[in-house]
Structure 1
Amino acid sequence: MLDVTGFRGSLASRQDRRPHAIVIGSGFGGLAAAIRLGARGYRVTVLERLDAPGGRASVHRQDGFTFDAGPTIVTAPFLFEELWRLCGRNLSDDVELRPVSPFYRIRFHDGETFDYCGDPQAMERKVSQLAPGDVEGYRAFMALSEATYRTGFERLGHVPFGSVLDMIRILPDLLRLQCFRSVHGEVARHVQSEKLRQVLSFHPLLIGGNPFSATSVYCLIAFLERAYGVHFAMGGTGTLVTGMVRLIEGQGGRVVCNAAVRRIAVENGAAAGVELEDGDFLPSDIVVSNADSASTYRHLIDPQFRRRWTDRKIERARYSMSLFVWYFGTNRQYRDVQHHTILLGPRYRGLLTDIFQRKILADDFSLYLHRPTATDPSLAPDGCDAFYVLSPVPHLEAGIDWQVQAEPYRARIAQYLSQTLLPGLDDAIVTSRMTTPLDFENRLSSFRGAAFGLEPVLTQSAWFRPHNKSEDIANLYLVGAGTHPGAGLPGVLTSARILDTVVPDAMVFAER
């Protein structure tokens, strides 16, 4: 990895004549795109505005603790394995993915728990204990989840949806799977227990969606997890980032940090390179943006070049919730706490309505608690635990003053955790830091501080999302959460996979 100064110094002396691709942003989508382009003959430069690669998957290190800033759940390891194979290597050469079981411990507000795992018989036993009358309904739901996975992920996940005809062709499949329903609506058709409905419908929250409005195509996640498991990268998710950067460098590409892009240059209707914030211009044959799709169009491309993604369209779109994340380390271990715990609050639908529709900071909350030291003790000093706790909150359109609200909100969460899973927490904390929606907007350039880009509703899915191949500008491509197929590690890695279909081979530019 280079900083921008070292990059400029090496640029003049490089004699690499391969067609040049610039990738804006080094999140998982951008890094995967760079690897795929490098494998197809491009000389790739990845530009990262922060001081380290990873984007939302960056790493915080302080006081001997290692905290993954963002994604912590790997559910489709074959997508990473494919990237390593493109470079003639095995993923296991560089990264150990360790299965996590249970996938999640779900704790209801009354203290009852449900261990969600991948073993079908074990899950049926747990369902029979929680909701004896819903076992057959659970089986039917999992059959639907598998059918949705076979169609939505295996057949359609890598389709570019560059034409409305692509959307028309899949309408029979969408109607057959009843994807006009919400995830919760589909779950509710199969099971009657309110607790089991929450267990089976929370997954859209992992990709920025409201279970009561996210299209039921995301029911596929339940089968995806059963089929491939839930994994954790030993050393933290950052080890995947580091491994992908090494793959890019091994291809002769560069990942350049401290390189903020001011605008994408457009010449004769085509992307021709980028201008950095300090005024330097870097030419390229193609540009791939892994930046937030709304911010890409709203801030990096001059309005006269945008016919579809106008400022008005961007501002009228629906965006995901944001996140409040508190990272903390303790001087003791909480051995009874699982790697992944979901703590459901007293309200389910009401809280989600407050977050997504009313856009208010409610008095109650539901939380995701991550304890990576349950699997990898090396992420904290001996005898200590590393945690982060995440609370879905409204994006910045809500007008919440996080400079004022952050600490009181953190204190309320700490009190709740101390009363439930982490007794004596206040006295055990030895390091702490927070991320608020302001950080998503200012540090990660997410429009309105939305943590996952566009909200995953049917009318903002597939053809209706910003296309992987820009509708307005030739030689401009998009990857990441804000384009098709959407957020989450499988989604952003698949968005890079789509480039194999829509980006010309490097020889097209080499022959010009």
Structure 2
Amino acid sequence: MQQPKKIAVIGSGFGGLSAAIRLAAKGHEVIIFEKHDKPGGRAYQYEINGFKFDGGPTVITAPHQYDELFELAGKKREDYMTLVPLDPFYRIFDGKGDHFDYWRSQEHTEAEIKKYSPNDIAGYRKFIKGVTDIFHWFHPFTEKSFPTLWSFLRIFPHVIKTGTWRSMYAFAAHFIKHDFIRKVASFHPLLVGGNPFDTPSIYGLIIQFEKQWGIHYCMGGTGAIVKALCRLFEDCGGTIQLNSEVQQIIIHNKQAKGVQLKDGSVYEADEVVCNGDVAFAYKNYIPNTLLPKQMNFWLSNLQYSNSLVVIYFGTKKKYTNSKLSHHNLILGNKYNKLMRDIFQRKILPRELGLYLHMPSKTDATIAPEGCDCFYVLSLVPNLDGKINWNELMDEYVDKVLGFLEENYLPELRSNIVAKHAVTPLHFQNNLNSYKGAAFSIKPSMMQSGYFRPQVKSKWFDNLYFVGAGVHPGAGVPAVMASGKIAAAAIEQ
């Protein structure tokens, strides 16, 4: 084994924890510096009046990624956390309030299609065959870096063969005629900050990713996964330092040499892994005089994902008879216009595009007895949209809750006993996301693979980035994979 290294990790999100656990399990001296009072990054868990609200990711896939971490440390996942499978994966509502249950089982999903458009069952089978081919061709590349342009260009014959140059919606429309079923088949880019109408269907591998390994929920919420991974990291000898905001990555002779905290203290390190937003980090953690001239221009001219308004709320009654499932998507009648307003025009849409999470449907421990726990996120533009959220926040939150009250949760507002809401300003100011983009750099063909920031910095030695902004992209499985790529690069 090589000589143990001192490694500083900035941030304790899933990417930082993935890298840190792997490196600590190999015997390196690893310390995580976390800005907030609790670990998790976007997966921070709020606790309000006896309710537990997961701050960000709630769709948990690929249990084998967690198993891999525990096995590296000679531990068992079951001793640290409890995952339970969810089926249906999602309940998707159309503009009229009718719903489609999206199951793991092909047979059950086809039964749902039959309710809307029996003639589309054959086309849906061809669609699923297409995304299965996409998965088999491209999933292996999600755990590899693309250090050269040639390494990325080698996949393009497969892009042409599988038709993944089409957008996700266009790929679905090639096989499916019914508009709502097309939306059901193509919404997945929204989970990683992309517009289904222009995100390439190479991201359709997410669909098969879910079918391959299922969608799960961790008892106690996603925050319980963070706690489990932190405990595992500490069991491997790692250290987490909370309330420790990094001010600067120390660079000497184009090499990362450690970090300086806001309180002035310095931690010297052989390697630095940054789980902070990659654009924010380059613009704020490294003195501008040390950056290549083209760096700021490049980062400023990348396209960034949408942002979110997220409302966490707990009710003093249980909505036992509601038509909601655990994961719910509410797609309105003007879905195409909604996407244009958010991603192209960058104005606040009149329509709502909502994801509604109801974990108390599965987990009684997440809320006080006799209560229900929710979070609803609404798709909005990032801060390029110039929307005054300080003025609009209360009005917008009331609009979303009013819509839910009218259509899904009767007498909602009079039953809320715990509430917290965040806007794009939270993503910018609290989570250090450039332009308040909730998923960092937007997924597109020219912002994927080699054309996306890589895990290993191209400009500074001993500096690595993990998280949504680097290859392979946003979403918990991809972010976890970025940690794996970083740890492997450091080990090599």
TM-score, normalized by the shorter chain, greater than 0.5: yes
In structure 2, C-alpha distance between the alignment counterparts of 1:440 and 1:196, rounded to whole Å:
32
In structure 2, C-alpha distance between the alignment counterparts of 1:103 and 1:169, rounded to whole Å:
34
- 8 Å contact from structure 1 (residues 308, 472) kept in 2: no
1:171 to 156, 176, 179: 156
- 8 Å contact from structure 2 (residues 131, 208) kept in 1: yes
TM-score (norm 2): 0.97
1:434-473 equivalent positions in 2, closer than 5 A: 434-473=421-460
- 8 Å contact from structure 2 (residues 258, 271) kept in 1: yes
Describe the SS at the equivalent of 1:160: coil
**Residue 145 of structure 1 corresponds to which residue in structure 2?**
131
- Aligned AA for 1:456? P
Q: How far does residue 403 in structure 1 lie from its aligned partner after superposition? A: 0.9
In structure 1, C-alpha distance between the alignment counterparts of 2:153 and 2:424, rounded to whole Å:
37
**1:375 lines up with 2:345 in the alignment:** no
Q: Give the 4+ runs in structure 1 shifted more than 3 A.
A: none
2:32 to 46, 53, 75: 46
1:341-352 equivalent positions in 2, closer than 5 A: 341-352=328-339
- Aligned AA for 2:348? L
**1:293 lines up with 2:278 in the alignment:** yes
1:152-191 equivalent positions in 2, closer than 5 A: 152-153=138-139, 155-191=140-176
Q: Which segment is superposed worse, 28-37 or 125-134?
A: 125-134
**Residue 405 of structure 2 corresponds to which residue in structure 1?**
418
- 8 Å contact from structure 1 (residues 297, 309) kept in 2: no
**Residue 491 of structure 1 corresponds to which residue in structure 2?**
478
Describe the SS at the equivalent of 2:259: strand
Q: How far does residue 312 in structure 1 lie from its aligned partner after superposition? A: 1.4
**Residue 64 of structure 1 corresponds to which residue in structure 2?**
50
1:431 to 398, 408, 418: 418
In structure 1, C-alpha distance between the alignment counterparts of 2:161 and 2:483, rounded to whole Å:
28
1:236 to 221, 239, 244: 221
Closer/same/farther in 2, CA of residues 309 and 486 from structure 1, 3 Å limit: farther
Runs (5+) with no aligned partner, structure 2 = none
Describe the SS at the equivalent of 1:109: coil
- 8 Å contact from structure 1 (residues 95, 234) kept in 2: yes
- 8 Å contact from structure 1 (residues 160, 501) kept in 2: no
**Residue 215 of structure 1 corresponds to which residue in structure 2?**
200
In structure 2, C-alpha distance between the alignment counterparts of 1:164 and 1:493, rounded to whole Å:
24
1:476 to 463, 467, 473: 463
In structure 2, C-alpha distance between the alignment counterparts of 1:309 and 1:81, rounded to whole Å:
41
- 8 Å contact from structure 1 (residues 373, 385) kept in 2: yes
In structure 1, C-alpha distance between the alignment counterparts of 2:366 and 2:289, rounded to whole Å:
49
**Residue 28 of structure 1 corresponds to which residue in structure 2?**
14
- Aligned AA for 1:195? F
Q: How far does residue 215 in structure 1 lie from its aligned partner after superposition? A: 1.5
Query: In the TM superposition, what whole-angstrom CA distance separates every residue of 1:275-332 from its partner, at most 9, and x where no partner exists?
Result: 1112211100000111001111111112333338611111111000000000111011
Query: In the TM superposition, what whole-angstrom CA distance separates every residue of 1:80-109 from its partner, at most 9, and x where no partner exists?
Result: 111111111111111111111211111111
Q: How far does residue 111 in structure 1 lie from its aligned partner after superposition? A: 1.8
- Aligned AA for 1:37? L
Describe the SS at the equivalent of 2:143: coil
- Aligned AA for 1:277? K
1:115 to 93, 101, 121: 101
Q: How far does residue 40 in structure 1 lie from its aligned partner after superposition? A: 2.6
- 8 Å contact from structure 1 (residues 323, 390) kept in 2: yes
- 8 Å contact from structure 1 (residues 330, 385) kept in 2: yes
In structure 2, C-alpha distance between the alignment counterparts of 1:327 and 1:487, rounded to whole Å:
22
Describe the SS at the equivalent of 1:209: coil
2:116 to 130, 140, 144: 130
- 8 Å contact from structure 2 (residues 218, 225) kept in 1: yes
In structure 1, C-alpha distance between the alignment counterparts of 2:93 and 2:76, rounded to whole Å:
37
Q: How far does residue 499 in structure 1 lie from its aligned partner after superposition? A: 2.1
Aligned-residue RMSD, C-alpha:
1.2
- Aligned AA for 1:220? L
Closer/same/farther in 2, CA of residues 253 and 430 from structure 1, 3 Å limit: same
- 8 Å contact from structure 2 (residues 467, 473) kept in 1: yes
- 8 Å contact from structure 2 (residues 19, 487) kept in 1: no
1:358 to 339, 345, 348: 345
Describe the SS at the equivalent of 1:463: helix
In structure 2, C-alpha distance between the alignment counterparts of 1:437 and 1:71, rounded to whole Å:
16
1:391 to 374, 378, 381: 378
In structure 2, C-alpha distance between the alignment counterparts of 1:501 and 1:278, rounded to whole Å:
32
**Residue 5 of structure 1 corresponds to which residue in structure 2?**
none
- Aligned AA for 1:310? M
Describe the SS at the equivalent of 1:356: helix
Runs (5+) with no aligned partner, structure 1 = 1-16, 506-512
Q: How far does residue 39 in structure 1 lie from its aligned partner after superposition? A: 2.2
Describe the SS at the equivalent of 1:274: strand
Query: In the TM superposition, what whole-angstrom CA distance separates every residue of 1:172-221 from its partner, at most 9, and x where no partner exists?
Result: 12222222211111111110110001101111111111111112111111
Query: In the TM superposition, what whole-angstrom CA distance separates every residue of 1:472-501 from its partner, at most 9, and x where no partner exists?
Result: 000101111000000001110111111244
1:269 to 250, 254, 269: 254
Describe the SS at the equivalent of 1:190: coil
**Residue 329 of structure 1 corresponds to which residue in structure 2?**
314
- 8 Å contact from structure 1 (residues 469, 477) kept in 2: yes
Report the identity percentage: 41
In structure 1, C-alpha distance between the alignment counterparts of 2:28 and 2:126, rounded to whole Å:
47
In structure 1, C-alpha distance between the alignment counterparts of 2:398 and 2:491, rounded to whole Å:
52
**Residue 403 of structure 1 corresponds to which residue in structure 2?**
390
Q: How far does residue 229 in structure 1 lie from its aligned partner after superposition? A: 1.1
In structure 1, C-alpha distance between the alignment counterparts of 2:309 and 2:114, rounded to whole Å:
35
In structure 2, C-alpha distance between the alignment counterparts of 1:341 and 1:181, rounded to whole Å:
27
- Aligned AA for 1:173? H
TM-score (norm 1): 0.93
In structure 2, C-alpha distance between the alignment counterparts of 1:491 and 1:113, rounded to whole Å:
29
Q: Which segment is superposed worse, 314-323 or 493-502?
A: 493-502
- Aligned AA for 2:393? A
Q: Which segment is superposed worse, 167-176 or 253-262?
A: 167-176
Q: Which segment is superposed worse, 20-29 or 296-305?
A: 296-305
**Residue 510 of structure 1 corresponds to which residue in structure 2?**
none
In structure 1, C-alpha distance between the alignment counterparts of 2:124 and 2:42, rounded to whole Å:
34
